[in-house]
Every structure is written in structure tokens, then in C-alpha cells.
A and B are shown apart, each in its own frame.
Chain A
Amino acid sequence: MSVFQSIYSALQLGLPASHLAVVVIGASVIGCILGGVGAIASLRREALLGDALAHCTLIGVIFAFFWFGQREFSLLFFGACLSSFCGLLVIRALLTVPVIKPDAALAVVLAGFFGFGLIGLRYVQVSSLPNKAGLESFIFGKASLMTGADVTWAIIVAAVVLVGVLLSRRSLAALCFDSAGLVAFRPSVAIARIVFAALLLISVSIALPATGVILTCSLLVIPASIAKFMARSFFDYMLLATTIGAISGAIGAAASIYIENVSTGASVTLTATTLLALALIVRAYVDRQHRRVVEFPR
């Protein structure tokens, strides 16, 4: 099969015709979600918040497994959301303590929750509970093994994120720019803060089982960084970040078909990083063209 043919068949949207299509579409939908949510997070200087929350989900997955005694996806998803929400609350609580810097708060929560998660996972692995196998794949998911069900979930979440972002576009912009300054708009900004946290939570929780923690974090950060180089308005920026996320997902997944022994997650991350490098080079070139000839010495 030629490269062109398989990319074409992979892009037959609407009717996934093959496993390739499932993975490529899934990766691009998840890239789209994470690109968009990561764009807001990175403007709020909270890109690593996603990373921390991603690591918080493990303990929730384990608890959900214990509590319900089964490996039903929606139950584990619920647990994941719940525990990363707890993680978020703890981070916010730590931030009110004057001596704790934001990065320290993130690090503490990430390490603490993930550590407990690993202990829990270990406990499950050595225990004799039924159905325990593969629990860890919720957080260390493998992109090449995405299933149609994963993609359906991802599309649902993408729709939720899209509606959320569109409805609160202005309050999200205000939240990112100066959250305190717009006195008159502050009630909406306060809602936007909650909306953003909720979107981040569900996006991370949906992306993890499909793509794993490393890919999730890189897709939160990299498309936003690229978009920031190129965008002139907030709308452009959001559009660019989601598009670049989607493109990285699609190209990365498609590329991993042709490269032997490269995992799909790594391939997607690599694609995104390559795009970032290209953006840096183009930006440097453009800057040189536009630089003023005379600079006043300070």
C-alpha cells in the first residue's frame, strides 16, 4: 500500500474502516483536545498542572477498581477524574500557604499522589483480586492499541471541550490575560476558572488510557508553544494550538506505521517536537527580516 493511499484511507472520517484509521483519528482527536486545553493552561503558566493532574489519576483508578471491584472503563474514568480533582484542590490549598511556591506545590502533589498510586498499583499487582491485569494501562496507555471505544469517548470529550471553550471564550481570555484586573467581569472569570479546571481534568483523564502519561503531557505543552509563536489574536492562538495538536497526532500516528519498532506515542511526541523546532527556525528568520536597522544604545 502506498503512503498516499493509506493516509487517504486513514482520513476517511466518520466511518473508521481499519485499525489504522482508528489510531490516526484517535490520536488527532486527542491531540486536538489536549492542544486546546494546553493552550489555555500554558497562558496561565499552568502547563505543568496537566502533568501533575495526569499523575494524580493513578490513585483514583486504583481506588475505583477496589471500590467497584471491576475494570469497567467509565468507573475507572470517574475515579481518575475524582482523584485528579482532589489533586487540584490540594494544589490550590497549598498555594494559599505563603512559603510554598507554585512549582513546589505542583511537585508535592504530583510526587505524593503518584507515589501513593504506585503503592496501590503494586498492592493490586501482588494481590489475588480478579481482573486486575492491565489496570496500569489506564495511565501508561499505549497509543498503537487504541480501540474504537476509546475514540468514541475522545470524540465525546472533544465535543464537550469545544462547547465549553466556545461558550466561555471571553471569560477564558480574561482569565489568561489578567484575571484580577477586569473588575466588572470578575464573576464570569471566576466561572471560567472552574470551567477550565473541569476541562483540564476530563481531557487528561480521557487522554491517559488512550495515549499514556508522557504523550498526554507533551501534547499539552508543545502545540501551545508553537501557536504562541505564530498567533496574533486569542482566537488564532486557540485555533492554531488545536490544529497543531491534531496534526501532530495524525502525522505522528501515520508515521509510526512506516517506521518499524517506534511506538506510536513516541512518534507523535517526536512529530510535535519537530514542528516546534520548525516554528522556532521560521520565527528566527522572520525576526531577522523585520528587525529595526537602528537600535538605540541603552
Chain B
Amino acid sequence: MRRIFKLLPSFQLLFAVITLADPLPKPKITTTTSLLHDMVHQLAGDSVEIISLMGPGVDPHLYKVTPGDIRKLSRADLIVYHGLHLEGRMAEALENFGKRKPTFAAAEVLPNDKLRTLSDIPDPHVWFNVQLWREVTLGLASKLSKTFPQLETQVGTRGAQYANELASLDTEVDHAIAKIPEQQRILVTAHDAFGYFGERYKLKVHGIQGVSTDSEAGLSHIQSLIDLLVNLKVPAVFLESSVGERSIQALTDGAKYKGHSVIMAGPLYSDALGEPGSGAETFTGMVRFNVKSIVTALGGTL
């Protein structure tokens, strides 16, 4: 700890040198989730300075704002957050910053009729429908161009390119999922993150917990899931990177008591990207990783 304090002045010096050396300082963009960090990076590359509040593997549902985050947020020229209550415990802080800073709720560019709702609350996990995420990307691109005119051409070309990439990723996922035998297209995960995924790519999706990881599942719900696993002979259930494995363990145990063995597959990346080097550190990498796990575990061949 003490060593860090000793280093502190040199860090400050470094900052000072950087600011002096750069005649036109880069726009500072603070994002909440690692997914948005990736999106801004794809659009603007190194011409902006991006700070992400949540690193890889951090659960945005439970994330709470720290004083350090407030500093990062107040230093930003633009705050990009997901919206739709994904950052459940940051809502108040984000709202307050919205009054005195340009903020952008990326997922809220989507029209209401494209959103799934669960008991009147919109489901925030839109990125699993790659088409929707493409729309969100385009929305963010135009916001970036408007807010930072100096980036307009760069964001325009990179945005168009990335949008094409996402469109082809969308068809790729579609084809891959189609390789799973039809009666086995059932995706059981720790929480209800994959609703959009199931809707777009035609899988039945079940989560143990609700849309947020911050709730407790009722026993009747667990039991009906176990019955489903047994009755439909579902071969695998999926761990998620940002949710503990206890809940999945309870399901596989329960199915085993009834004589049906279910493998614990994954983990899938659900609410956050993976570590650098994991192959899931970008959005496209994460989708490909998930799809590969799902298809192989559910009996398809790639």
C-alpha cells in the first residue's frame, strides 16, 4: 500500500506530461459495463479515452457506485450506460449525472415494441439478439458523431464496418443454433438473461432466477424446472460467468435424483465480457464463445 502512495506523485507527473504533449485532448468517455466499453472501442478506436466502471466478469445488476466511480464519471465528457434498469443499483447516481453532463442510455434507443417485458419491466439483456445490438451500436455511433464532431468521419466508417460485421454474426449464430436437434433447443441458465437470444434464434429459454441476479427463486419454480429437465431430457444446463454455481448445482442434483443426468456446461458469458485472452473479451468473441458452448452441449455439431 505504502509503495502505491510513493508512486502517486510520478503518476501525476505522467498525467501532466500526457496532457502537455497532447494539444487537443482526447474526448473522455466513461462506460458502465464491459460490453459498452467494447462498443465504444469498436466505434472510436484509440481516438477517445475510455474508462469502464465494471471490469470483465462483473455483475452489473449488483454493482454499486464507489467514490472512485463518481470521480471517473465526473471526469467524463460523455457517460454511456446501458439503461433499462440493467445497472439496478446505480440508477440514482446515473440520473444525477444526467442533469449536468451529456449521458447516453444506449439500449434505450430501441423502440418499445422491440423490447421484451417481464411483468411490465423491460428486459435489459438486449445484446443477445445481435440484430438489436447492431441497432444500439448505430444509435451510439450517431450520438458520438453529434457530441464530438471531430470524430464524425472516423466513427461513420468504423460504425458502418462494425454494423456489417454484426449483421453477418447474426446469420452465423442463426445457422449454428439450427444445428441443434429441434427438441433439444432448450436453454436453462442461472438467471433470465437469454430471453432475447431465445426469441431471435428460436430456443426455449428458462432462468433459475429472474431478470436480475438480485432475487431468490421460489421452490415451486425450481421444482418445475427440474421436471422440465427430466421430462424433455434436456442434456445440459449452463453456468454463467457472473453468477455463482450453487443454483445450477441444485438443478443438476435435483434431476439426478429423478434419474436424469444433466451436465453442467459453460460458463456462458452473460452480463459481462471475459478476461483478455479468454476469447470472449470482445462482443463478437463473446457471442461466438457462447454459441459454441450452447451448440456442443445441446447436441449439435459445428
Chain A residues at the B interface, C-beta cutoff of 8 Å: 16-23, 122, 125-128, 132-137, 141-149, 253, 256-267
Contacts and interface: CB of A to CB of B under 8 A. Distances in A.
Contacts of A125: 58-59, 62-63
Contact of B258 (A18, A122, A253): A18
Contacts of B275: 128
Contact of A263 (B216, B243, B245, B246): B216
B172 interface: no
A19 B220 contact: no
Contacts of A256: 218-220
A128 B55 contact: yes
B220 A258 contact: yes
Given A18-B254, A19-B250, A125-B58, A134 B218 contact: no
A263 B56 contact: no
Contacts of A145: 208, 217, 222, 246-247, 249-250
30 contacts: A17-B257, A18-B257, A18-B258, A19-B250, A21-B257, A23-B219, A122-B64, A122-B66, A125-B58, A126-B58, A133-B240, A134-B243, A134-B245, A134-B246, A136-B244, A137-B246, A142-B216, A142-B247, A143-B219, A144-B250, A145-B222, A147-B246, A147-B249, A147-B250, A147-B253, A259-B218, A260-B218, A260-B220, A260-B221, A267-B219
B59 A133 contact: yes
Nearest to B210: A261
Given A144-B216, A264-B219, 13 more contacts: A16-B257, A18-B254, A18-B257, A19-B251, A133-B245, A134-B245, A137-B244, A142-B216, A144-B219, A144-B221, A145-B247, A148-B253, A263-B216
The listed residue with most A CB atoms (<10 A of its CB), out of B63, B64, B245, B246, is B246
A133 B66 contact: no
The 3 closest A-B pairs by CB, nearest first: A134-B244, A19-B254, A263-B216
B246 A19 contact: no
Given A142-B217, A144-B217, A256-B218, A19 B54 contact: no
Nearest to A132: B57
A257 B62 contact: no
Contacts, number: 109
Interface string B262-277: 0000000000000100
A16 B254 CA distance: 10
B226 A133 contact: no
Contacts of A128: 55-57, 275
A154 B240 CA distance: 27
Contact of B219 (A17, A20, A135): A20
Interface of B: 54-59, 62-64, 66, 208, 216-223, 226, 240-247, 249-251, 253-254, 257-258, 275
Nearest to A256: B219
B218 A263 contact: yes
Contacts of A147: 246, 249-250, 253
Given A18-B258, A125-B58, A259 B253 contact: no
A136 B213 CA distance: 12
B202 to A, nearest CB: 28
Contacts of A126: 54-55, 58, 63, 66
B92 to A, nearest CB: 17
Nearest to A19: B254
The listed residue with most A CB atoms (<10 A of its CB), out of B58, B64, B242, B250, is B250
A126 B58 CA distance: 6
A109 B247 CA distance: 31
A133 B213 CA distance: 11
A133 B216 contact: no
Contacts of B242: 133
Contacts of A137: 244, 246
A261 B119 CA distance: 13
The listed residue with most A CB atoms (<10 A of its CB), out of B55, B208, B218, B219, is B219
Contacts of A144: 216-219, 221-222, 250
Contacts of B63: 125-126
A262 B218 contact: yes
The listed residue with most B CB atoms (<10 A of its CB), out of A23, A147, A263, is A147
Contacts of A258: 220
Nearest to A6: B223
A264 B251 CA distance: 16
Contacts of A16: 257
A169 B108 CA distance: 64
B45 to A, nearest CB: 23
Contacts of A149: 249
